[in-house]
């Protein structure tokens, strides 16, 4: 069966520090991968999605970036965090219609 | 503008009561997906609806897709504390290999 992992589960970082969140999927091949941010009262905001290795589509221009170095690995990064980057980050995968989500990473930027 | 509207935004019901959550799209629905989220956790996939008039049930949760109205409803019968959480609908409105769009969610509280 397929599983999706996110690391770390929680993170507290100072403003201006770098960020790296990792998402890995097991049990499937060539999935579409997604990064979402969920802020209180604002629903799910799609940040990036990828249909293959090295292929990244950016939905919202900001100081975040994403990379897909391997088929089942998706990384969300930032060189300098802003206060507004705080939120709950969710990774998801799909191979057809439904998307399946990871457990999330709660990021607090102080 | 929001492509997918959910109502109500929040709901408090007494244990044992029935409830309905609605999800309305401003565009044609090629697929509608319901998820449940507990605070601080990921989204759990509940059901997928793809055909007009389709209805699916899982335990005490039933979801229907009214394709003509571009709307879906989620109905919970005899609510229990375990039903509490945030319910989100996601929709395929571009009919292709594209990400789903999501509503803002409905927060459900079930009180004894």
Please report, in tens digits, the pLDDT of each residue of chain A (110 residues total): 889 999 999 999 999 999 999 999 999 999 999 999 998 767 899 999 999 999 999 888 689 999 999 999 999 999 999 999 999 999 999 998 789 999 999 999 99
> Quick one: pLDDT band at residue B68, thresholds 50, 70, 90?
confident
> Is B6 in contact with B22 (CB distance < 8 Å)?
yes
Q: What are phi and psi of B88, to 5 degrees?
A: -120, 140
- The pLDDT tens digits for B23-54 are 999 988 889 999 999 988 999 999 999 888 89
pLDDT of residue A12: 97
pLDDT for residue B1 is more than 60: no
B104–A103 C-beta distance less than 8 A? no
Query: What chain A residue is nearest to B105 in terms of C-alpha separation?
Result: A43
What is the C-alpha to C-alpha distance for residues B28 and A43, in angstroms, rounded to an integer?
Answer: 21
> Is A13 in contact with A19 (CB distance < 8 Å)?
yes
* Percent with pLDDT over 70 in chain B: 98
B105–A102 C-beta distance less than 8 A? no
pLDDT of residue B13: 98
In this complex, is the C-beta atom of B41 within 8 Å of any C-beta atom belonging to chain A?
yes
Query: What chain B residue is nearest to A4 in terms of C-alpha separation?
Result: B42
Q: Tell me what the mean pLDDT of segment B12-32 comes to.
A: 94
pLDDT for residue B6 is more than 90: yes
Q: Tell me what the mean pLDDT of segment B73-101 comes to.
A: 91
In this complex, is the C-beta atom of A44 within 8 Å of any C-beta atom belonging to chain B?
yes
A43–B50 C-beta distance less than 8 A? no
In this complex, is the C-beta atom of B31 within 8 Å of any C-beta atom belonging to chain A?
yes
A106–B45 C-beta distance less than 8 A? no
What is the C-alpha to C-alpha distance for residues B82 and B58, in angstroms, rounded to an integer?
Answer: 14
Q: How far is A106 from chain B, CA to nearest CA, in Å?
A: 8
Residues pairing with A73 in the sheet: A24, A70
pLDDT of residue A61: 65
Among A39-53, B7-21, B77-91, the least confident range? A39-53
Residue B8 is given by DSSP the state: -
Query: What chain A residue is nearest to B92 in terms of C-alpha separation?
Result: A97
Nearest of B51, B58, B90 to residue A38 by alpha carbon: B90
Select the residue of B42, B88, B92 nearest A102 (Cβ to Cβ). Answer: B42
For A104, other C-beta atoms within 10 Å of its C-beta total 22
A-B contacts (CB, under 8 Å): 48
């Amino acid at each position: 069966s397929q599983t999706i992992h996110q690391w770390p589960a929680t993170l507290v970082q100072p403003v201006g520090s770098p960020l790296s969140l990792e998402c890995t999927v097991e049990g499937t091949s060539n999935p579409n991968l997604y990064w979402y941010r969920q802020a209180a009262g604002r629903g799910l905001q799609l940040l990036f999605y990828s249909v293959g290795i090295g292929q990244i589509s950016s939905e919202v221009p900001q100081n975040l970036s994403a990379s897909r170095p391997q088929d089942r690995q998706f990384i969300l990064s930032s060189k300098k965090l802003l206060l507004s980057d705080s939120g709950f980050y969710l990774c998801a995968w799909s191979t057809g219609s439904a998307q399946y989500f990871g457990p999330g990473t709660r990021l607090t930027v102080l | 503008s929001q492509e997918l509207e959910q109502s109500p935004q929040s709901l408090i019901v007494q244990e044992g009561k029935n409830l309905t959550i609605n999800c309305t799209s401003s565009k044609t629905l090629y697929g509608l997906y319901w998820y449940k989220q507990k605070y601080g956790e990921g989204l759990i996939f509940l059901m997928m609806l793809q055909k007009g008039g389709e209805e699916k049930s899982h335990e005490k949760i039933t979801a229907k897709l009214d394709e003509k109205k571009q709307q879906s409803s989620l109905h919970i019968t005899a609510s229990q504390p375990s039903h509490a959480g945030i319910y989100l609908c996601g929709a395929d409105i571009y009919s292709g290999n594209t990400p789903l769009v999501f509503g803002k969610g409905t927060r459900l509280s079930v009180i004894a």
